[in-house]
Amino acid sequence: MACEHQFREDLYYRINVIEIAIPCLEERRDDIPLLANHFCSRMAGEPFFLYDRTHRELLLYTKGQRRIATYILESYDKAAFLTAGALGKITQVSESTVVRFAAELGYDGYPAMQRALQEMVLNRLTSVQRIEVTDERLGEQDVVSTILQADMDRLRHTNEHLDREAFSGAVEALLQARCIYVLGVRSSAALASSLSYYLHYMFENVRLITTPSTSEVFEQLVRISPQDAVIGISFPRYSTATGKALQYCREAGAQVIALTDSETAPIARSAHYLLTAKSDMVSLVDSLVAPMSVVNALIGALTSRRKHETAQTLERLEQVWDQYHVYEKVHI
């Protein structure tokens, strides 16, 4: 039996050989978008189906649809955050034409196509691009009303789509953990700090990690064990440190909880329990209103399960606060 990777070259001429000629890409231009889609998906870990199909079928569209497709291909970072009406105005077509274009691509309405575009580009936008996109989105609108309404929509979406089974599993994992690690860096550090602050009222061993240094993150996680749990929080622009850290924790046997914006987020693949909260760009940063509500829900669920321990801790703290005059007393 021949060993693997070893082949007698003299036998090559004794067997039937079929030559398969593969033309160069110059002769098969239709394959270029497919190859680009394949390699981009591998590198980014995100679906490029929309961009790919729009490019491949450009010549099959009507005149109006071609204008929409061309604008998306050339300015996808801006198109992802436009309403159907705004996109129609820019491309000089009706809003209904934009909606039909989304259906032509196989999406269940324009919002579905918009979400696909946003997932593709959200983590690619630089800070400068975010400012430009925000300026175009808000235009002359009332900033306060626009952003507050958008946050209410994100809360509604999160409530409808949050996996309740994963949420319950996350609560149980935290309750059973010997030590709880809370990890969130950069814009997610505020969420991690808030969660950690209240967990200290309920659990004795809680460790907060908010350093943006990858090496320091691993230094603080090096003793994590299968008896521990970690909750990692990451929203666009995703921190590579958080993704690498959660992968390490999973390989170490710890229970991994991930709080992020979608199932395609980098930290999702390492999670035993995935909690998603809607987080779209509103300005220089993403809105963290819905993620903060999920953090509040975790705190509420854990408090109800550890009422006695929490009450004891707070009673002792009240005595200390009174003794050392930590808070001003308001007399009514």
Tokens of 290: 């819905």
Residue 66 preceded by cis peptide, ω within 30: no
pTM above 0.85, yes or no: no
Q: Is the pLDDT of residue 34 over 70?
A: no
Residue type, 319: Q
The pLDDT, as a whole number, for residue 145 is 84
Angle 209-265-216 (CA atoms, 0-180°, nearest 5)?
25
pLDDT (0 to 100) of residue 281: 61
Distance CA 208, CA 190 (A): 11
Condensed to tens digits (0 to 9), the pLDDT of residues 83-135 reads 899 899 999 999 999 998 888 877 888 888 887 777 666 656 665 666 666 66
Cα dihedral value 29, 98, 45, 271, nearest 10: -160
Query: Regarding predicted confidence, which is higher, 135 or 206?
Result: 206
258: pLDDT strictly greater than 90: yes
SS3 276: strand
Q: Does residue 39 have a pLDDT over 60?
A: no
Position 30 confidence tier, pLDDT thresholds 50, 70, 90: low
| 3-state SS, one letter per residue, for 69-134 | HHHHHHCHHHHCCCCHHHHHHHHCCCHHHHHHHHHHCCCCCHHHHHHHHHHHHHHHCCHHHHHHHH
Domains, the chain: 25-124 (1.10.10.10), 159-320 (3.40.50.10490)
φ, ψ of residue 94 to 5 degrees: the values are -75, 160
Q: pLDDT at position 184, please?
A: 97
259, 233 in Cβ contact below 8 A?
yes
In sequence order, the 6+-apart residues with CB closer than 8 A to the CB of 26 are none
Q: How far is CA 262 from CA 105, 162, 222, in A?
A: 22, 10, 28
User: How confident is the prediction for the chain on average, in pLDDT?
Assistant: 82
Q: State how far Cα 221 lies from the chain centre.
A: 23
Residue 259's contacts (CB-CB under 8 Å, 6 or more residues apart) are 191, 231, 232, 233, 234, 275, 276, 277, 291, 294, 295
Amino acid, single-letter form, for residue 126: T
CA–CA dist 98, 63 (Å, integer): 12
Query: Of 50-59, 149-158, 233-242, where does mean pLDDT reach its minimum?
Result: 50-59
pLDDT band at 284 (very low <50, low <70, confident <90, very high): low
Q: Looking at per-residue confidence, does 117 or 148 come out higher?
A: 148
